Amino acid sequence: MPLRFCRRQILQLLAFLSCGVLGSARSSCSARRAMKQRSSENPPLLEKHNGTRRMSRRPTLLNALEHANRAVALDTAGSVSEATEEYNRTIELLEGVLQGIGEDSSDNEESVRITKIRDSYRNRTHLLISICESRS
């Protein structure tokens, strides 16, 4: 798979993450602006869900999005090892969110979306590692 196609797909997934998972229907450009603005604010640590309080996934998703943005930028710049580290950190954060979702069966659609995004980052990481190994 050509690297240019993978980068485009990753950027589309980032836009999907910022718009779909966080519940916005904005364009990816305005979503990025909103994400920057939200990240400077203190997101709520607790959110109401079905009359109960639970830890909010939003700060973790915002953190994952920041790592994913850095990973794509490093990947585009050709900094494979640094990009791989950022992709791995994104994967770890998304897996943490998925564990939290696993406790709540009402969030199945969100779980499927995050799983697809996590798997895309994992596939990209494997591709980068295999490219590096083939060059050695």
Q: Which pTM does this prediction carry?
A: 0.62
Tens-level pLDDT at each residue, the chain (136 residues): 444 555 555 555 555 555 444 443 334 445 455 555 554 554 444 444 555 445 578 899 999 999 999 999 999 999 999 999 999 999 999 999 999 887 666 678 889 999 999 999 999 999 999 988 888 7
User: Which residues touch 135 (CB under 8 Å, ≥6 apart)?
Assistant: none
Q: What is the rounded distance in angstroms from the CA atom of residue 73 to the CA atom of residue 82?
A: 10
Residue reference for tokens 């400077």: 40
Q: What is the rounded distance in angstroms from the CA atom of residue 54 to the CA atom of residue 122?
A: 28
pLDDT value, residue 81:
92
